[in-house]
Structures are given as C-alpha cells and as structure tokens.
Structure 1
Amino acid sequence: MTLYPTPEQVLEALLSAPHGRTKDAPEDSRGVYGLVDHFGDLRYIGSTSSAAENLRKRIHARHRTGSETTSHYFSRMYNTGRMWRDRNDPATKADGDVAKRLRNAFIAEYCRAVWVPLPDDADIPGIEQAVLAMAPSECVAWNRRGMFEYDEPRDLVDTIIRSLRFSTAEMDAINRQNDRFHGKLIAPVAPTVPAFPAGAFDFFALDVETANNDRASICQIGIACVRPDRSIETWVTYVDPETTDWSCSFVHGINAATVRGAPRFDDVLPILAKALDGRPVYQHSGFDRSAMTAACSASGITMPEW
C-alpha cells in the first residue's frame, strides 16, 4: 500500500522548505508548489493538477512567462511599471514584448518557489484543496486574485536592465510602457496610408526596405507607376515593422524614429492589393517578392497573386 504525505505534511514542507529559483523546479515531477515574491514571502499555493504538467513547466514557464490576465500569477503580480504590457493591444505589441522580456528576467532573478513532489497516482488536486483550506491567509494572498499588483521595485528593475544591456530603443520602449501604465500616454491617432495614384498605368515596379535580416520586417514600400507614355508617378510609405532590431539601418537610413506613427503592413497591403490587382508588377530581384510574402505570412494575410 502506497503512503502519501498528508495535507498537513505538505503544508509544513511548503512553509519550511528552502526557497529555490523557478528554473530549478524539477521537470520530472508533479505535486504541490508555492510562489514566493521578491520580498521572500510565500504568496500563492497551487498544484500540477493536469497530468500534462510538471513542476518546472508550471512554475518557470506558466507562472513566469504566461499571460498576465489569466492564472499565471508571477506574470500578473509583476505586470507593473516598466514591466507592464497589454497583450490585447496590437498597437503597443513591440514595446510590450520588450517589457515582458524585462519582467521574465526580473522574476527569474528575484522571485522564488517551493515545491513538494508527489507520486502521479496521488490525489494531487484533493491534496491541494486541503492545503489551501489550512494555509495561513498571507500565504495564499495571490490565490483567487486576492491582491493588487505590486508597485514596480525600481532599484531591482534597474539592476536587471543593466544586466540585459538594453539598447536605447529598448529603453525607450519600456519607458513608454511605464507611461502607459501610469496613464501618461494618450492613445495615438490611427496612422493613415497615402492615397495611391489614380489613372491608367501599363505596369508597376515595387521596391521594399527591411529593418533587419528578417524579410518580414518591411519598413518602407515604394511603387513606380508607369503610364503608357512612359511618364512615371511614384507612391511611397514608411511601414512600422514593430521591431527593436534595426540592424539594416546602415543600408537605407530608416530607423525606429523614422517610422514612428507610420501604418503597419496590414494597414498598407489592402490598398496595394486593390491597386495592383491583375496588373504586371516588376521587382528588382527576388528579394522584394520574398519580403512581401514573408510580411503577409507574419500578418496572417494571403499574399496577392500579382
């Protein structure tokens, strides 16, 4: 007959166990665990109730890097200040991704966890519920969203920023997120796409620039519209690729400041798709077509059959 720890024993182990780094939680075990805040206080108790979970996956992956709006409590409780993001706001996705990277690193460095491995055939959900019923209230303060998010621990966050060696663009991103969190930034006016030239054109020549070696990172699109008399009208727009990698700026001089307030690729493509539908489109090389295809794929858009 297999003997399992009692809920009382599991709670005592959680309260007395040395705090470990989230990444050190075992990958080969399930059980009951606790999350410890940056002050060193146990604040949440949970379990790997699903057979598909293990302690490391649940603690280090789910709670640390998961969505802030669900039951991923490290992410939720430290979604604050320069570490804040709104995952449902596509307009601030690029800045939010930098803030989330900062938050993930902060949690890995300053937060801790405790865990009690249990056999897979133990009644892990039942043990968890019994432990929750007995736990001191301060040890389950995060459970069922019982606490507000923390204020940003600025000195500790500054230390993490230095260790990550954020670029100027990344610093700008997290500072904007801090302003958004504190309500200092007003939602920007929706960017507009320049009107496309009207008229009868024999063909078009298309050229793009990219922010970096990712061909989806289109930051400018230019079109030469050639009339039957061979006169040319041009159309051009900057595109915000929502990236912090501008390693190709040396080629074309375009950077994050240049495209600030510019439309995104999925704002631009519908206008081009309509204007160029069924018409001959030339390119300088295979690069332009592959970049357009990559950008369409990244935006979840079907590439037009030009």
Structure 2
Amino acid sequence: MHYSPSKLLTALLETKPRPTRDAPRNMRGLYGLVDHRGDLRYIGSTSSADQNLYERIHSRHRTGSEGMSHYFSQMYNTGRMWRDRKDPATKTDGNIAKKLRNAFIADHCSAVWLPLPDSIDISLLESEVLAIAPKNAIAWNRRGMPVYDEPIELVNVTLQRLGWREHEFSALKRQRERFLVQFPTATDILTQQISVKTKDIINSFPQGPFRFFALDVETANNNRGSICQIGVACVRPDHSIETWMTYVDPQTDMWVWSSLHGISAETVQGAPTFAEVLPILNTVLRDHVVYQHSGFDRSAILAACTQNSYSAPMWQWRDSVGVARSAWPDLKGNGGYGLANLKPFLGLEFNHHDAAEDARAAAEVVLQAEYALSIRSLRCPSRYESPTPTQRNETLFSPLKKTAQQYVSTPQASRHIGKTLITQGNINNTHIYLKDFFDKFPDNAIGGSNRSSVAPKQITVDWGDTDTVLTDLDGTKKLFRKRGWVREFFERNNVKVGDMVSVEEIAPYHYRVAVCSD
C-alpha cells in the first residue's frame, strides 16, 4: 500500500488532538505534538522499531529531560516549571518543578498520531512529510521556536488539581526566581528598553483582573504591518468593559486609508512605534484570551512583529465572528457577521473604524453571544407552573447599556410558549408533540407533511448541544420536521415517559427546547 506524504500531512493537521496518555501502546507511526493553545507544533515518528507511540509521546516527550529531543519537556521548561537538571544545588526544588511540568503537559497539551505498519519505512515518510509541512506546524522541530513564557493561569489550574501545600509552592517560587535571573523574557528586555519619554506618551493600561480581551487595529496602507492605531477592550468578571487605545507611528509615507479611519501622518506625530507598544501589550495580554473580529487583526500584529524581527506574541487568539455564527446561525446569508450588520441586529453603539470602538464592539458581540449560547443549557421551571416575568428577567441578561467608558451586559427576556408531555410513542419514534401550542409558531415556518412541501422559512432549535438545528415544522403531524437530534436529546436528559418538555422562543424564529425540572 502506498502512503502519500501529502495525505499523511493533511491527516495530521486535521485529526482532532487527544490527551497524550491516549496514545497507542502497541503501534508505531507518525505523530504531532499540540501545545497548550491547541496549535500543532512538532511532527515526528517512532523511527525506532522497539518504540511505540505511547512511549514516544507520553513518556519521552512529556517526562523526558529538557535540553534533549523531548519537546514537550523542553518547550515548557519555564517559570515555575523550570529546572536545571545539571545543578545539584537545586535538585530538590527542580524535581518538584519537573513534576509540575509533567502534570501541566498532561492537563493542557495533546497530540495526534497516525499508526503505520512496521513493514514500511517510517523514517523516510517522516522526512517527506516534514519537507512539505507548514512552518507553524513544525515550529518546535530542531528547536526552531523559543521556550514559552509560563502560561500562568493554566499552571494555576494544574496546581489546584494537584492540591499541593506550602512546601511545594515555596520550591516553585524559588525555581521561578532562578529562571527569571538566568532567562529574562523578551518582554522583560523590551520593556527595559522603553525610554521614560515613551512611557509618558503611551496611555496607562487598565488594571485587572479581566476575563478576556478584544483587540482591533487600523493600518495606514495595504501593508498589514503598517499599524497606526491599536484598541483593546478589557472585559472584567462582572462583564463591564474598559477600553485602551494608542496611536502608533507606522514609520511610512504611504497613507492609503486615512479617508476611512481619519488617521494621518499628522495624527501619529510623536506617537510610539509598534516596537515600543508591543511590550506593554505583551505584559497584559500574554497567555490570555484575545478576541479579534475576523482574522485581520491577528495577521496585522504578526506582520508588524515580523517587520520588527520579533517572535509572535503568546496570546490565545479567538475569533468573535465564529462565536457569533454559533449564537445566531440565521444571520448566515442574511447580512452576515460583520460589525456593520451586527450593529443594528444587537443594538450596538460604536464608531466603525476606530480601533478602540471596534474592539469594544467585538467584546460586546462575545458577551451577547455568550448569553445566547448559555440559555440553551438553562432548564425550564417546574412542569406544573410557568415562570413569572420577574423570574425570567432575574436569570437573563438584558441589552448592553452604556455608561462612561464602561459597558455592562444586562438581560433580555424570552417567551415561554408551551410544554408537552412525553409519551412512549415519542420515545419510540424520536419526536416531540407540539400540537398543544402549535399556533404559537410563525405560519411561514409551517410546511406540509413531506419534504417536498417544506415551509419557506426555517426555525433554529437550541437543544443543549453546541450545534443548533435548522428545520421547519410538519403542519400535519405538528412536529419538528428534522428529528435526528431528538434521540440524543432524550438520552442526554434521561427523558422518561411522563416527563415534560418546554419550548421557549428566545428570538424571532429561534427556539429553545429543554426538559422541565421538578
């Protein structure tokens, strides 16, 4: 059988990562190591005939000695997880740090693998795959990437699971101090290089804690690295938002987009350069979730880093467009998910093409999407009584309300339209009767009895899964036409004969189905 390197690479890139402990113990093949942010970073193989995938991935790469070809161990030899294995004076503290590192990797990193028969030349296939692999997927190979800064919040999660005491925490603190003395981070060095004058002209960053951030940039021209404005929206645990903005001198004479955002060479005169702003951003955003609205902002930051010969910042990038798609699938083909369309749909107030305003808008999109997605998991009240308006309003967010530079999410109401009793026939045939309140659904979403007479409009059904269902209604049987999800809904909720299921309208043509609690 012929194994195509391109197909093997595609499989490595598209296979869902799994915990390292799940690697097969009786197979050899190709594998990839996935970092704490979910990015494939290393491709290797079990080239030795006496080594299986589990031994190579979970044992060697995770628990092997740093400084050798054990890449998980090498890349996370940092901060509180750092040790110098050749220093006998710090052996006791170093062993505790190493134990934390092993646990961290098991908790937050993962791997992919492709078992291959022993009869083929696995080493040759590995070299052929590496030759065509994208650079980001093999960034760790041959130590082509610096060791990570400590992912502080994730390390804290692992420490909480381990339940360690003061003795271990003191050892880890000493290890971190030793690490910082020997290996000051790039951010530390850059920060020291910022002049007093530059510090004075860069706005002070808001003080945390923050749940997540949203970032937006404006550029001077078609070169994505020509950043002339950066805005960051900082979202606190109480959902309030505080924005930060700075102009940036892109050091260019080409100003193509001034008519769009109003920023010109005169605007940025005396502003800091990107090289002077990056340390400020890194100090706050490092290892935190940073939303962008589409992929432009991340690509602009990366382009500016490349132009200044800096490594890509260790931020956990996410896309608010993807969150919006999950929350409001009906917008697909109906205006889309750009900020200009979401502005009237969500009632947002902002000035488009101002980095701070757009960053805040992206954060508001995420907050409203979190609400829209979270209500799927809410269960309806007692099967014998409907919620009062007060009860409903106490559990849901209302539209975003604006107060001087802070934006607090507050609740929107939904409409309970009916409950239905589950029968043995429902369970046997995987459907839910809607006849008692069928008149509450919109007429243009009700079709005939077969698929050739579907309704002109579909409704969205949230049933507790991340994937919603788009369907119309069978007007003859008075059911949801698509029923493939119903069996899993019954199984997940342990639905039995006599249980009540609630249907609630959460937006026009958008409904939530839930099992009523007693």
One fold, TM greater than 0.5?
yes
Counterpart mapping for 1:86-165 below 5 A: 86-165=84-163
Mapped to 2, the partners of 1:105 and 1:127 lie a distance apart of 32
What residue in structure 1 maps to residue 171 of structure 2? 173
Counterpart mapping for 1:245-264 below 5 A: none
Mapped to 2, the partners of 1:16 and 1:56 lie a distance apart of 20
Query: Is 1:11–1:135's contact at 8 Å kept on the other side of the alignment?
Result: yes
> 1:148-199, CA deviations, whole angstroms, 9 ceiling, x for partnerless residues?
0000000110111111111111110010000000018xxxxxxxxxxxxxxx
Equivalent position SS for 2:181: coil
Number of positions where the alignment pairs a residue of Structure 1 with one of Structure 2: 183
Higher alpha-carbon Rg: 2
Counterpart mapping for 1:1-306 below 5 A: 3-183=1-181
Query: Is 1:20–1:114's contact at 8 Å kept on the other side of the alignment?
Result: yes
Query: Is 1:36–1:111's contact at 8 Å kept on the other side of the alignment?
Result: yes
Residue ranges of structure 2 left out of the alignment (5+ in a row): 183-518
Equivalent position SS for 1:183: helix
Residue ranges of structure 1 left out of the alignment (5+ in a row): 185-306
Please tell me the residue identity of whatever aligns with 2:106. Answer: A
Query: Is 1:4–1:122's contact at 8 Å kept on the other side of the alignment?
Result: no
Runs of 4+ aligned residues of structure 1 deviating over 3 Å after TM superposition are none
Please tell me the residue identity of whatever aligns with 1:59. Answer: I
Query: Is 1:81–1:178's contact at 8 Å kept on the other side of the alignment?
Result: yes
RMSD, aligned α-carbons: 1.2
Please tell me the residue identity of whatever aligns with 1:14. Answer: L
> 1:218-263, CA deviations, whole angstroms, 9 ceiling, x for partnerless residues?
xxxxxxxxxxxxxxxxxxxxxxxxxxxxxxxxxxxxxxxxxxxxxx
Deviation of residue 4 (structure 1)?
A: 3.8
Mapped to 2, the partners of 1:117 and 1:83 lie a distance apart of 31
Deviation of residue 15 (structure 1)?
A: 0.6
Determine what percentage of the aligned residue pairs are the same residue: 60
What residue in structure 2 maps to residue 261 of structure 1? none
Equivalent position SS for 1:15: helix
Mapped to 2, the partners of 1:15 and 1:63 lie a distance apart of 19
Equivalent position SS for 1:27: coil
Please tell me the residue identity of whatever aligns with 2:125. Answer: I
Equivalent position SS for 1:182: helix
Mapped to 1, the partners of 2:66 and 2:11 lie a distance apart of 28
Deviation of residue 5 (structure 1)?
A: 2.1
Mapped to 1, the partners of 2:142 and 2:97 lie a distance apart of 25
Query: Is 1:34–1:42's contact at 8 Å kept on the other side of the alignment?
Result: yes
Query: Is 1:63–1:73's contact at 8 Å kept on the other side of the alignment?
Result: yes
Query: Is 1:19–1:113's contact at 8 Å kept on the other side of the alignment?
Result: yes
Mapped to 2, the partners of 1:167 and 1:4 lie a distance apart of 54
> 1:117-155, CA deviations, whole angstroms, 9 ceiling, x for partnerless residues?
000111000000000001000000000010000000001
Mapped to 2, the partners of 1:158 and 1:90 lie a distance apart of 27
Mapped to 1, the partners of 2:177 and 2:142 lie a distance apart of 28
Q: Would the alpha carbon gap of residues 52 and 142 (structure 1) be closer, same or farther in structure 2, given more than 3 Å must change?
A: same
> 1:79-130, CA deviations, whole angstroms, 9 ceiling, x for partnerless residues?
0000000000111000001001100000001001000000011100000000
Query: Is 1:25–1:115's contact at 8 Å kept on the other side of the alignment?
Result: yes
Query: Is 1:63–1:74's contact at 8 Å kept on the other side of the alignment?
Result: yes
- Report the TM-score, using the length of structure 1 for normalisation: 0.59
Please tell me the residue identity of whatever aligns with 1:125. Answer: S
Mapped to 1, the partners of 2:32 and 2:89 lie a distance apart of 35
